[in-house]
Amino acid sequence: MYRDPVESLEPLHHRQAAIRTLRVGMIGIGTVGSGTFRVLARNRADIAARAGRSIELVMVAARDLERAAAIVGESVALTADAMQVATHPDVDVVVEVAGGTGPARDWVLAAIAHGKHVVTANKALLAVHGAEIFAAAREKGVIVAYEGAVAVSIPIIKALREGLAANRIEWVAGIINGTTNFILSKMRDEGLDFAAALAQAQALGYAEADPSFDIEGIDAAHKLTLLAANAFGMPLRFADAQVEGITALQGVDVACAEQLGHRIKLLGVARRQAAGVELRVQPVLVPAAHMMAQVNGSMNAVMVKSDAAGLTMYYGAGAGSEQTASAVIADLVDVARLDGVNAAQHVPHLGVHAHATNALAVVPRAAVHTSHYLRVPVHAVNQIQAIAASLAERKVPVRQVALAAERPGMGPQVLVLTGPVEQGTFDLAVHALQARAEVAGAVTTLRVESLEG
């Protein structure tokens, strides 16, 4: 009933049409896959005009064949075997939108081994197995494209690899997870605690039943790994990223950040230093007047600081079926334009050619140099200067100190914003501060990012 297995696609696509049509096999027909099918069908003429030839979905692998048939109709061959799509002779490019890092790796490597181009929105796959996948693709002279894996509707990979190709990139910083940005927006706007904001995100479909990858910062770290590689010409270094999520974030700190003229965002930061590259994801304070602080709900934004272009910012939807499909199809258009072109003329997978890769080290946590926020519970309001003095004694520059606005059931809290200081020095100062008699409870700290040009 569902045309599985498929021996040949000849009845569906005549040889004459195959010469001028890029034939796409898709693995997965869920949220992203169904959106890709819809946009390809709806904008067929515009896409062909830009690509120089038609792009047609000819084969889909899916677990639920009945559901898949209801989406794609009779014109697309269906199979339950993803490997069949990856290796079928009548497929020119494989779109992998099933997710995961195990079977997906096997499908992608099989497609490459059979000389097929690959388009994927699977950031975890590339962050973990990208080095192997890109090496295999170079060997076979095929393209692996992944714009949809990083910032959904924002063409940030193309911006880094092509639009900013003349630049030395100094840093990249982004809100690159829509779920956590939605949660933080709710905590600020409605005064919700983390658990209540997460529950609302799940009820509205912004968060999965198991939201761990999002709220623990792992999803953002996968994306940051790809951004850093393209920005700095460095290898994929996901295992070395410093990752902190928002699960421990308290509503009181969201309110206190506002009091100090800041907002809290989960930010991915890749910053060039003399010793290497900072590669970190964590909740940080951003000045409330900064453009990045205005990115709310499930939206994403990425800022890039480069020597010639200066500061540039890219903003758009951080989730969505057709939003991701937009990026996937843009990759297909690139493949359609370059299919058959000498591989040496392809845009390098990670922005620079393999022989020019820069083996930059990832800066250890203790050597990261940033400003900081502290919230220090004290026994009495007149102890505010003692807190500031303790930090100054330990070589931590104090830029602002204030008492937090009173909150029911909470004693006095001293709020501090520091100047830039090395993390190792700051940690020692906080350890000493925590032991002081004036301190009435655990000291809370967060980094502060000015994102200045």
Catalytic residues: 223
Conformation bin of residue 6: beta by default, left when phi > 0, alpha when psi is -120 to 50: beta
- What is d(CA 418, CA 250) in angstroms, rounded to the nearest whole number? 20
Contact partners, residue 345, CB within 8 Å, separation at least 6:
338
Contact partners, residue 90, CB within 8 Å, separation at least 6:
8, 9, 10, 13, 18, 23, 58, 59
CA-based nearest residue to 332, from 97, 89, 161: 97
What stretch of H or E contains 312?
Answer: strand 310-317
Structure tokens at 257: 């950040």
How many of the other CB atoms lie within 10 Å of CB of 222? 29
Structure tokens at 132: 């192997």
Q: Give the three-state DSSP class for 169.
A: strand
Task: Using the structure block, give the residue that is written with the tokens 């359609």.
Answer: 336
Q: Give the three-state DSSP class for 445.
A: strand
Angle at 128 between CA 246 and CA 185, to 5 degrees: 20
Structure tokens at 286: 């951003």
Contact partners, residue 435, CB within 8 Å, separation at least 6:
none
The number of residues making up the chain comes to 453
- What is d(CA 285, CA 262) in angstroms, rounded to the nearest whole number? 6
Alpha-carbon dihedral 433, 435, 438, 440, rounded to 10 degrees: 100
CA-based nearest residue to 366, from 419, 315, 428: 428
Peptide bond into 5 cis (omega under 30): yes
Structure tokens at 78: 């269906």
Amino acid at 6: V
Q: Give the three-state DSSP class for 94.
A: strand
Q: Are strands 276-287 and 77-79 parallel, antiparallel or unpaired?
A: unpaired
Measuring CA to CA, how many Å separate 273 from each of 90, 278, 449? Answer: 48, 7, 16
What stretch of H or E contains 373?
Answer: strand 369-377
